Structure 1
Amino acid sequence: MKSFEANFDGLVGPTHNYAGLSTGNVASKLSANDTSSPKNAALQGIAKMKALHDMGMTQGVFAPQERPDILSLRRLGFSGSDANVLEQAHKEAPNVLSACFSASSMWTANSSTVSPSGDSKDSKVHFTPANLTNKFHRSLEPEITGNILKAVFNDDNHFNHHLHLNENDHFGDEGAANHTRLCSEYGEQGLEIFTFGKYAFDQSKPAPTKFPARQTLEASQAVARLHGLSDENVVYVQQNPHVIDQGVFHNDVISVGNQNVLFYHEQAFLHSDAFLAEVQSKFGSDDLHFIKVTTDEVSLEDCVKTYLFNTQIITLADGTMAIIAPMHCYHNPKVKAYLDKLVTLNTPIKQVKYFDVNESMKNGGGPACLRLRVALNDTELNAVNQHCLMSDELFTNLNAWVSKHYRDELHFDDLRDPNLLMESRTALDELTQMLKLGSVYHFQQI
């Protein structure tokens, strides 16, 4: 049976703005309070999705969260009409208001962890939404993420959906941004690598000191248990605390894998030699490519600035691989020179394709942040909600939808505007009808 990797990219929501909410994410903090362009951000993301579709990839679309999150604002004591809630929050707690407007769900790499049917004991594809407890604005997402996942992967014969982990820092889970999978073929049993930042129950272990470690070992172990993974096909590795303190807030900012390729910076992992030996042993095949980038080749600072590793590695129809990189990599001479050299080496990576995702990059998310990887076989793909798969028709409809509903610019003071709330709800209601998702948002269930 044919198998492949589908990428489900998050649509940028109508309230995309720069609030600098993510401590530890250098780009996010540097862009705080800049003027954003929700329309450009959404169109850039849709253009990337269509380009991958045209390259022969299976490309899906993942709906954004309902924003502003009025329900959360009411839980926090703001009352009256929706307009009054926004005005009170703007005056009394502007940081809370910003958090409840965040469009961070565009980064679907954080939405959940996915294990393919080839890895799980029940031979189903498993999904666990990330609880994202480390950041308030992201902790608002898991419930609706679960609703959307169930609406997209809506056949219980093939898909198994789990509740997100306990909402506590001990089980802080950031989803697929700290998870990758190596395999020979997507449909065969693979090796799942869970990268964590700290041990929650053992304070004596190494941990970052400047920025928070968002993923715990205990959360990764819990997801592996829920997904029915065997110990022989799982590797746990700690992210180097030093790189977290340099702004590498997720592992997908410092390494990325695809099939038999692991592309990583030499500073990415703690105890790298032991980790790589375990990966090699459990992978089994000698046909495994460890592509290590040294600090001399590309500095840690340039990795964070350009998101060299927050790129997608995709397998093309001819069996070779391509890197999907942000334009920031193209414009950095040292990174561009490295990538030019990489495609000439004896590895499966033979192409680099550059995309303009600047609106996302300014908020701290590159091409890899924007997509959730789901390995599927033909039968499972047929069980997916087909309205969420990219096509020429959907591309046209999404562009028209964005042009109709999204603002060209957004400033912080715009967040108090009740018209923005209504614009966002109208847009999302229309989107759920387009994608046949049903009533996944709270405002649709009232």
Structure 2
Amino acid sequence: MTPPPRRTRARRLFASSSWPEARYLAAVLRTETVGGALLLAGAAIALGWANTPWSDSYLRLARHVPWPGGHALHLDLTLSAWAADGLLAIFFFVVGLELKRELVAGDLRNPRQAVLPMVAAVGGMLVPALIYTGINLSTARGAPQGWAVPTATDIAFALAVLALVNSHLPQGLRAFLLTMAVMDDLFAIVIIAVFYTEHLSPLPLLAAVVPIAAFALLLRAGRTHWWALLPLGLLAWAFVHASGVHATVAGVLLGFVVPVRGRAGGQPGPAERLEHRWRPISAGVAVPVFAFFAAGVSLRGVDPGRLLGDPVTLGIVAGLVLGKAAGLFGSTYLVARWTRAELDEDLSWADLFGVALLGGIGFTVALLLGGLAFGVGTEQDEHAKAAVLLGSALSAGLAAAVLRRRNATYRRGSGGLGRDAGAEGARHGGRVVPDHAT
């Protein structure tokens, strides 16, 4: 008698990660959630200060040059420029470490697992760019060059909103949000380096190879002394800044050359140790300070009709609120249809839609791209900042409404724990991970 044909198990989207990946995710969530709250605080203080009778003092602070006369050493920058070019290099260094880790030891090392977040990130950037371009294509004053502003997702801001609604979404979906954001950051880096480099000087860029290579060799030799690595990092930053490429790219390049695997079995590698050391500085200092200097948009005396009627404002808001949600949700749905994959049994498409709305929260990189596209301090840059704030607030509100309902559903269905907690515990020797730990 011929045995019945064996049924092939359908591929599951957003299945829970391995136990080490779940612990790594939990640590990232804790840091980024606190960082997101500090980011919101910095932006709120700046926005409030810029719209008070003492707004001139805010502008004087932002335009203060702490080291005047340092043109030859690239030290003649204002405080706001130091925040955008200097402190954000720390943020992008952590991004580089995260990308390297994901590509070597994380979910992105498996092409099958990498396809979904990569396609989602591409869709989540392409659709907002097309919406913005469609609105601004026929406008004057160089508005079309701001197409990249609504393409970026701010993961710290998004995770802060996720924490505020106390969501019990399964770990697999939140892991997808982080992985998608990593790919989003990678594409944003490429956009900054390729499309927003006006004057390229090859010699300083070539010179940057020397300190970056020395940085990599020291780490591969197990030399992690800060007094040796930090000067090399600063030198690489100075050369990249002098080349005309945005200086934050130096942080990414330094992060990429850090080895992931440890020299001894089971020991954390240099990438994990450096990320553990620098992520709190990035999330707790660099990004909030940048937000403080970037979000100070003065609305005093601004004509609301002129602001809201500006195609730049409309394109960015529509790109963030509509484009991001449509791009992320639509591309994921198409992947499921083309590959005949199924959602993990603990998830619904409503969960994914809520996370897709979270993707419309663009802040750190979006504000940076606005300054690069329109020039810091121009009217278009001010409108772009206001649009990023408005679009992010709308996306956050819509996402919170959807996820709060999903949160209530998961509460009723699991007694206060995410559905994946029990299943995840069963997979790992009965260890149940409470939702607040992830």
Q: TM-score range by the shorter chain?
A: under 0.3
The structure with higher relative contact order (CA 8 Å, sep 6+) is 2
Which of the two has greater strand per residue?
A: 1
| Structure showing greater Rg | 2
TM-score by length of 2: 0.26
TM-score by length of 1: 0.26
